[in-house]
């Protein structure tokens, strides 16, 4: 009996679904701020002295062809940030200071500048807010071994500050650390591609960093994953196929037939997938109601795996509800 019941439960499977959702900004720029200036303070830690080096097969190597990776990285990063901010139609103008306008200063600790420094820049540019790249650091590593270990990466570390000219104070500080990898294959994982050298890799990674930071300042479209619950019953299997093709209405018509089914498995599948349908239709509250009901139906030992899955999805929905509430206080995407 024990093995039979496990077999009944195990016939439930999940099909991956990729969707795009709007994520709220991490920091909400006041709506009255319409004109921005972006500036690099050009600070660098005293201990950061490897800008003209890279790692090759885990050995530190001095660059044969010297270039200024810091200036290249900061310029690419700030240009990428500005482009992505302007896409939102949120700001009237964005002024970018020349990358090396301020001389390089080595510091033990990155902290705020004097209050007058921020005021002077906003007065010069006639802007409402400042986006300041306080510090940007990056390091390139390359593995040239044969086989699957070949690859490269760029580790980046940067600190950002937002200054509100109307309030005359710093209102946000953001530390960003990331690593961009190349393993010699394309996104499908099948086709071999060239692994970039240091200059190209730094340019690519800096552009990504600027784009990622823009998501901290403005709402952005983001790819996320959901799962359609499936089982061996012909009707429900067909409904899952319809949903994965985007035909949610036809799929829902099938799931609704089983929402009060005497068969626990079929009812769980129907309730879970109708919750997913509600989220696709923008009704997160209804989706939460359905997952709550699905969690009750799947309570007990024999449906523990399904119950755990449902509760995890319910937590995602509650988080999404919080995000939507925050989005309501921010500006809309075009």
- What is the pLDDT confidence band of residue 146, given thresholds at 50, 70 and 90? low
Angstrom distances, CA of residue 53 to CA of 108, 109, 136, 229: 21, 23, 16, 51
Residue 246 predicted with pLDDT over 90: yes
- What is the pLDDT confidence band of residue 329, given thresholds at 50, 70 and 90? confident
The token duo for 122 is: 């906003």
pLDDT of residue 309: 95
Residue 148 predicted with pLDDT over 70: no
Determine the 3-state secondary structure of 307 from DSSP: helix
Which contacts qualify for 293-297: CB closer than 8 Å, 24 or more apart?
294/268, 297/264, 297/267, 297/268, 297/271
146 compared with 262, residue with greater pLDDT: 262
The CA radius of gyration of the chain, in Å to the nearest whole number, is: 26
The token duo for 119 is: 């005021």
Provide mean pLDDT across the span 127-133: 97
Cα separation, 259 vs 270, whole angstroms: 5
Domains of the chain: residue spans and CATH = 2-23+226-327 (1.25.40), 35-218 (3.40.50)
Describe the crossing of helices 304-327 and 2-10 by its angle, rounded to 10 degrees: 30
pLDDT digits (tens, 9 = 90+) for 282-295: 999 999 999 999 99
Smallest CA-to-CA distance from 298 within 314, 311, 287 is with 311
Cα separation, 44 vs 157, whole angstroms: 11
Cα separation, 112 vs 131, whole angstroms: 13
pLDDT digits (tens, 9 = 90+) for 316-328: 999 999 999 998 8
Whether 134 and 41 have beta carbons less than 8 Å apart is answered as yes
pLDDT of residue 9: 47
pLDDT of residue 143: 87
pLDDT digits (tens, 9 = 90+) for 38-78: 999 999 999 999 999 999 998 999 999 888 999 999 999 99
Cα separation, 118 vs 112, whole angstroms: 10
Q: Give the H or E element holding residue 133.
A: strand 129-143
pLDDT digits (tens, 9 = 90+) for 176-207: 999 999 987 766 666 677 899 999 999 999 99
Provide mean pLDDT across the span 251-264: 96
Whether 329 and 28 have beta carbons less than 8 Å apart is answered as yes
Q: Give the H or E element holding residue 118.
A: helix 115-125
Whether 104 and 68 have beta carbons less than 8 Å apart is answered as no
Q: Percentage of residues in the chain with pLDDT exceeding 70?
A: 93
């Amino acid at each position: 009996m024990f093995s039979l019941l496990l077999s009944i439960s195990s016939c439930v499977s999940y099909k991956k679904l990729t969707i795009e959702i709007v994520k709220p900004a991490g920091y909400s720029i006041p709506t009255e701020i319409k004109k921005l200036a972006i500036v690099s303070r050009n600070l660098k830690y005293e201990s950061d002295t490897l800008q003209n080096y890279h790692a090759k097969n885990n050995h530190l190597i001095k660059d044969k062809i010297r270039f200024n990776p810091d200036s290249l990285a900061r310029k690419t990063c700030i240009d990428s940030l500005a482009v992505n901010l302007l896409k939102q139609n949120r700001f009237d103008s964005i002024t970018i200071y020349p990358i090396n306008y301020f001389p390089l200063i080595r510091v033990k600790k990155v902290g705020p500048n004097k209050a007058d420094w921020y005021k002077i820049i906003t007065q010069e540019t006639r802007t409402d807010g400042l986006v300041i790249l306080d510090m940007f650091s990056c390091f390139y590593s390359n593995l040239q071994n044969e086989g699957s270990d070949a690859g490269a990466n760029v580790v980046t570390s940067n600190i950002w500050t937002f200054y509100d000219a109307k309030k005359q104070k710093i209102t946000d500080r953001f530390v960003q650390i990331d690593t961009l990898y190349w393993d010699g294959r394309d996104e499908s994982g099948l086709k071999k591609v060239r692994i970039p050298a240091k200059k190209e890799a730094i340019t690519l990674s800096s552009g990504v960093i600027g784009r990622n930071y823009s998501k901290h300042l403005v709402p952005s479209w983001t790819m996320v994953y959901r799962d359609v619950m499936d089982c061996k019953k012909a009707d429900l299997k067909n409904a899952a196929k319809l949903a994965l093709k985007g035909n949610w209405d036809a799929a829902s018509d099938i799931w609704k037939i089983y929402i009060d089914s005497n068969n626990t498995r079929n009812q769980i599948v129907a309730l879970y997938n109708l919750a997913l349908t509600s989220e696709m239709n923008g009704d997160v509250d209804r989706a939460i109601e359905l997952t709550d009901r699905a969690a009750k139906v799947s309570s007990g030992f024999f449906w523990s795996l399904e119950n755990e899955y449902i509760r995890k999805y319910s937590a995602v929905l509650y988080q999404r509800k919080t995000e939507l509430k925050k989005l309501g206080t921010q500006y809309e995407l075009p």
